[in-house]
Structure 1
Amino acid sequence: PSFFLYLGVGEFLVCMKVTLLLVWLKVFLFLPGWPQLGHAQRLGPPELVLLQTAFWGQRHVVHIKVKKNFCPKLPSVHLRRQGCSPGRPTFVQDDCYYSGYVEGTQRMLQTNDIVYEIEPKRFSTAFEHLIYKLDNEETNFSYFQCGLTDEKIAGQLKIQESINSTLMQSDYTGWWTHHYFLEVAVVIDYSRYLHHDGNLSMVQKEAYLILNGVSDMFKPMDLELRFKGMEVWTKRSLITIENHLVTLKNFCKWKRRGLQNRLPHDIAHFFLKKKFGKAFGLAYDTQACIIRFSCSIETFHDEGIPFYSYIVAHDVGHNLGIHHDTKTCQCGAPRCVMFTKVEVSTKFSNCSYADYWNIGRRRSCLYNTPKPQTVIRVPRCGNSVVEPGEECDCGSLETCNTDPCCQLNCTMTAGVNCAFGLCCHNCMFSQSGTLCRQVANECDLPEWCNGTTNQCPDDVYVQNGASCTGGGYCYGRRCNQRDEHCRQIFGKEAKDADMNCYRAINTRGDRFGNCGITETSYIRCSMADSLCGRIQCENVKEIPVMSDHITLHWTKFENNTCWGTDYHLGIRIADIGAVNDGTKCGPENICIRRRCVSYSTVPRNCSPQLCSLRGVCNNRQHCHCNYGWGPPVCQEKGRGGSVDSGPAPDLRFSIWSEILIFILCLH
């Protein structure tokens, strides 16, 4: 059987306690109960864990891993006091959210069709946990239903049409994607703040657990929820709260006036505690990404995190245009997430997938890949990352025991110079002139150690615009030449295609031929820029093995045969088919950002003449001298290199050393 462990995440079922079992859980090697079969080699919370336990006569093994990038590095909580500006941010610990297990919080363990709830025993000093077997039949929420009825959906559409809302965002023609992002903001009403006795940490924790669960419910759709942050009202409610319809309208109106600017988001949800009759939540249908209506409200009491996550997931579905299930909808469970009546589920039906594909994925903001942001982390010794205040960090107990340079407390062993770095060898600084970074290609430059530090100098390379093999130009540390680009994709026989291929394909403005992509469309190349769109090749003798979701195209017209690749934002890898910056597009022209521009526009403040014709210019506009001449301008005798490369070695000494070794070997 397969096993799943859920921490306020994943496949939640409403908590129905039938049988009680007290078990001893063990997470780390020094805790009793759950034997840990394996984990990542690091101290602190592991990223990958295998756990085993036995209850109800069976042994269970659970595979779990940490959930990354759930909370970005930004203020997660804004305190609203009497309507004033956002207050102090609070810290969010990032290592408490797993797709599976996390120490000391509620989670679900599902083995086939049997589900258990696991929660820590309060005030236990021995890491004791309680396990309950859950039974759906004993708790019935079918009296309650979604507040968004078919009649209300029809009414919403009329209102939205009357103010010219964009009900359907434009889509890439012929584009399918496989990964989307939805950025969610949460506002916590004063009523829920009071529900937790004014304990901001508990309010914050509840919100994270809810969104963590919702995130896992949408994961099978390849929709990644990003929690942008939340605002907590700690003095009073800032909107009038009446019935659910009025409350939704008031919240949407309030969030448009300020929250959108303070905390940019794709959808915003309002958590409160109030009886709304049969309704637990209400959302505007198909309005994600549209500021005026991208909102929802949910009311909670004491139903539990699994129930809360289900309600929010249901309303997020409505935000995305996923409608209620009908009798023909199936998900492999008695009820699915978008069922009209409230019956907790974690699976979306085939109908929901169809709605998401046809409507939800057309929301333009879902195309936007969030900018890489550092996840909030607690600096700690033992995570294999050298942080402020640490001399080194050898990681786990096992790796530290084999590290002669660094100790378990993140200090260096007595008598050593260093514990890491490209210029650290056997715990000592490498000698001056030791090569620490080799040349990668003809457009790269070497770096050497200086003998006084463990760090290799910064990586420098030949100045952009310098000539290289095949009539190409160096740009961004590589020689950009069309024939070589084709060989890298289609093999050694391939070569650059005829100009007619570029003109015919790159002016189409589709995923096979374009000069870039905006949020909603492909950019057609002008005739002048067609050589800077997507690479077109010919003489292809072999079909390469490509990464998933990459499509090759073959086009034949007149006497021309054109080969190329596609690209769309759903592909989460580098675009191998875009013409590289620095590629020649005319006698005196070069491609920069998909445009064919004059070669003279490439900034170059250094020239071979400045280097006395005895070296090349690097990307910092300094001379890198040939051996025999020294920096800065290669006029005086020296060993070569630049002011950026570190001291070059004495090649004469190196040659004589090699000769001496050769003679000794002969003897």
Structure 2
Amino acid sequence: MKITLLLLGMGAFSFLSTWPLIGHCQYLNPPEVVIPLRIPGTSTEKKITGWVSYSLHLEGQRHIVHMKAKKFLVHRHLPVVTYTDQGTVHEDQPFIPRDCYYHGYAEGDPKSLVSLCTCFAGLQGLLYINDTFYEIKPKNLSTTFEHLVYKMHPREVQSESFKNVPTEEDTGNEWQMMLQENNHPTLKQSTIGGWFVHQFWYETGFVVDSTRFAYLRRNVTAANMEIISVVNIVDSYYKTLGVDIVVVAIDIWTHIDPINSTTTRELKNAFCTWKVQEYNPRVHHDAAVLVFNRPHGDEVTVDGNWWGLCKASLCCTVVYHSNDNQLQYATTMARGLGILTGLYNDSRYCTCEQGQCIMNTSLAIANAFSNCSFSTFMWATWVQRNCPYNRPLKVFHTEYCGNGVVDAGEGCDCGTVKSCAADPCCAANCHLKAGSGCASGLCCKDCQVLDHGTVCREQVNECDLPEWCNGTSPVCPADMYVEDGKPCLGKGFCYGGQCNNHDYQCKKIFGPEARNADVKCYRLLNPVGNRFGHCSRNRQTYERCASGDVLCGRIYCENVKELPVLKEHETFVWTHLNPQHCWSIEHHFGKTGPDIGAIPDGSPCGVGKFCKNRRCVLIPQWSKNACSPETCLDRGICNNRHHCHCSSEWAPPLCRRAGNGGSVDSGPPPKSNRTRDSGSKGGSLLLILIGILLFILCLLIILFILNKKRKEDQQTEPPPPVPGEPGAPLPPAAAGPAAQPPPGQAGPKDKRKK
């Protein structure tokens, strides 16, 4: 096996190279110098699923770590807010690397944990191997890819970390009583083994105070990357609970702190007040964390509002951190978020696999939640209902020129001064540059609006419709598609712009030879109501299919010849119902991506019926006043807004007069469409007619010339001789028998013989 040295873009992120140089390390043990080696893909499966592997020697032993990129750690449009010395807010959306944060494990150690960042031309983060914590970071100014590995001990820092958070004993086991009142078996589970995680998202905003910013040498990039790197470690802890920590915004108190306090509790209360007034109006979040570097007399390192998650005035916690120890930092932050979640301080009856649990009251380094935390978390999220089940979609932003978003009154917005300098269309003052007609949009190219009739969104399938530019706006019309319920692919129906049926879905999952299974599979398996067969689910249970809805639950296929590589939380299920073979994909609550085993809306489930929201319903018959083939005079089809999309020979809105096709929603098609489509027959007939006329004309000319020549020949021909004159031929009757030569004379033959 070939092992090569990993060199992670030394120049690509040179602007970040100063970050590891910043800081004032306070480690108790000297580091070990190692050189990580990247191992090329060890298997086809790991290449497909995105796993990468490294080899490194720690304390004389070789370890192989396998890890995979963490997705969606940072919001796509992360707003970073700084403040001028006058307190004016300045929002930016700087470039933040998003594909260089990894989670993984060490080969041969089932309890291991790896959480690394590769954004800084090296590896940086946490290694938990053989019950030992290590922190790894690139060695400054090394030219041979050397790294420093610090062996950490939980006893390195021992102080009271947080107060005023109850334990189960403090509340008289109130939480256990609540669990007993709820008969749901999952909520009563209190052991880590067999834990069946769901999926939650903590949309978290972070604020760095002026003391921490000064500690980082007033480097904005360093402050951003420190937050994200530590959150990557915290996210690996919360992964066991099924929680994704998502960084949605970062505020940096650049010059002075807008709040004052003498104790950590006062700081937390003041931060919550500031957050409600200044932060909530511009950032959507479930939790807000203030990181401060100034010690307080109470020696409390983390404080927050217990069970304040998702509550606008209470979802705030403060975290104290004064050095570069990322593992200590991550433990403290994990506890702060745990307080907001409603987790109790661990009592003497709480245990975890690593021995030191995250919600323990001492500030010992930890990376695991206890059995008590698991049970409390399940109850807390059950009570929360809507939050934190919502997947992050949107972050509010402050409207100003330079935020990269075109707000009201702006012609464009190219973002930072540096990005505007490279933008050929948009100026830094959010106005178009001289000679520019536009700066963005599907109908904008080379700073000019595309011509009338230029296609800006192609038709991608039978149930989709194209759109064209109108010649005046850089924005392409909204994406239109065929009205739901139109037949497609022979035995499916259009729904949401897609043509779906059971056969097509089986081929997408199991290959081109797969096909829809016998209805027996659906009738026997989908009414069960578990993760292998069901029609719907709520947050805790699966709902069985009614007899009329079995074709709208889970997909079942047969004639399966190949098994493709699946993503996380996807498992093949094979059930033998003699003589039927039923292949499917299971589903459980830990799945975060699309459910490929669910039958999509629009799949047929009976005569005149299709699936919608996992139910078999009648295909809607839209009234003729809205749109129908008759409304469009059979010269077009109805789109999703119930308007006629006319064929290329007719004009909207009702396809009554000649035109170029399209609809009132699609933008105007080019005139060439009509010439090419509706005019093609007329043009061909005209060419044929012209050809025939030319042929006839040529034929007439030829006949005329021949006739004229014949007449001229007749006029110049001499008259025939008169009979009896010399040279006139004898009549056949007068000639008589052939003349014989006179006696004594030889004929011609005789003469030749002589």
Task: Report the TM-score, using the length of structure 2 for normalisation.
Answer: 0.55
Partner of 2:169: 155
1:556 aligned to which of 551, 569, 576: 576
Q: Distance in 1 between matches of 2:405 and 2:552?
A: 44
Q: From the superposition, tell whether residues 356 and 302 of structure 1 become closer, same or farther in structure 2 (CA, over 3 Å).
A: closer
1:218 aligned to which of 225, 234, 239: 234
Q: Distance in 2 between matches of 1:631 and 1:538?
A: 45
1:268-667 equivalences under 5 Å are 280-281=301-302, 300=320, 310-317=331-338, 320=343, 323=346, 341-343=362-364, 345=365, 348-349=366-367, 352=369, 360=377, 363-364=381-382, 368-374=389-395, 376=397, 380=402, 388-390=410-412, 406=425, 421-423=441-443, 430-600=450-620, 605-643=626-664, 644-648=666-670, 649=673, 650-651=675-676
Q: Distance in 1 between matches of 2:537 and 2:461?
A: 30
Give, in angstroms, the shift of residue 298 of structure 1.
6.0
Give, in angstroms, the shift of residue 418 of structure 1.
5.5
Q: Distance in 2 between matches of 1:526 and 1:628?
A: 47
Q: Distance in 1 between matches of 2:412 and 2:522?
A: 55
Give, in angstroms, the shift of residue 450 of structure 1.
3.7
1:16 aligned to which of 17, 23, 26: 26
Letter in 1 for 2:561: K
Say if 2:154 is the partner of 1:144.
Answer: no
2:535–2:543: 8 Å Cα contact kept in structure 1? yes
Q: Distance in 1 between matches of 2:263 and 2:476?
A: 65
Q: From the superposition, tell whether residues 139 and 90 of structure 1 become closer, same or farther in structure 2 (CA, over 3 Å).
A: farther
Give, in angstroms, the shift of residue 373 of structure 1.
0.6
1:448–1:457: 8 Å Cα contact kept in structure 2? yes
Q: Distance in 2 between matches of 1:278 and 1:394?
A: 41
2:402–2:415: 8 Å Cα contact kept in structure 1? no
1:531–1:585: 8 Å Cα contact kept in structure 2? yes
Give, in angstroms, the shift of residue 372 of structure 1.
0.3
Q: Distance in 2 between matches of 1:394 and 1:208?
A: 17
Give, in angstroms, the shift of residue 185 of structure 1.
8.0
Give, in angstroms, the shift of residue 95 of structure 1.
3.8
Give, in angstroms, the shift of residue 370 of structure 1.
2.8
Q: Distance in 2 between matches of 1:394 and 1:315?
A: 34
CA offsets 1:431-460 (integer angstroms, 9 cap, x no match): 544444332222122333444444443322
Partner of 2:178: 164
2:245 alignment partner, SS class: strand
Q: Distance in 1 between matches of 2:303 and 2:470?
A: 65
Give, in angstroms, the shift of residue 645 of structure 1.
3.9
Kindly indicate whether structure 1 or structure 2 has the higher relative contact order, using CA contacts under 8 Å at least 6 residues apart: 1
1:220 alignment partner, SS class: helix
Q: From the superposition, tell whether residues 142 and 398 of structure 1 become closer, same or farther in structure 2 (CA, over 3 Å).
A: closer
Q: Distance in 2 between matches of 1:372 and 1:312?
A: 24
Give, in angstroms, the shift of residue 590 of structure 1.
2.4
Structure 1 portions without partners, runs of 5+: 19-64, 78-87, 119-132, 197-201, 661-667
Give, in angstroms, the shift of residue 477 of structure 1.
1.0
Give, in angstroms, the shift of residue 555 of structure 1.
1.2
Letter in 1 for 2:178: N
Q: Distance in 1 between matches of 2:630 and 2:204?
A: 56
Q: From the superposition, tell whether residues 581 and 278 of structure 1 become closer, same or farther in structure 2 (CA, over 3 Å).
A: same
Q: Distance in 1 between matches of 2:406 and 2:652?
A: 38
CA offsets 1:440-496 (integer angstroms, 9 cap, x no match): 222122333444444443322211122223232211112222222222222223222
Deviates more, 1:605-614 or 1:576-585: 576-585
Give, in angstroms, the shift of residue 520 of structure 1.
2.3
Q: Distance in 2 between matches of 1:565 and 1:418?
A: 47
Structure 2 portions without partners, runs of 5+: 29-68, 82-86, 102-116, 128-133, 141-147, 213-217, 688-754
1:210–1:308: 8 Å Cα contact kept in structure 2? no
Give, in angstroms, the shift of residue 574 of structure 1.
2.1
Give, in angstroms, the shift of residue 606 of structure 1.
0.3
1:439 alignment partner, SS class: coil
Q: From the superposition, tell whether residues 92 and 324 of structure 1 become closer, same or farther in structure 2 (CA, over 3 Å).
A: farther
Task: Report the TM-score, using the length of structure 1 for normalisation.
Answer: 0.61
Give, in angstroms, the shift of residue 592 of structure 1.
1.5
Give, in angstroms, the shift of residue 508 of structure 1.
2.3
Q: Distance in 1 between matches of 2:480 and 2:611?
A: 22
Give, in angstroms, the shift of residue 179 of structure 1.
5.6
1:629 alignment partner, SS class: coil
Give, in angstroms, the shift of residue 552 of structure 1.
1.7
Q: Distance in 2 between matches of 1:420 and 1:96?
A: 19
Q: Distance in 1 between matches of 2:408 and 2:446?
A: 18
Q: Distance in 2 between matches of 1:553 and 1:288?
A: 41
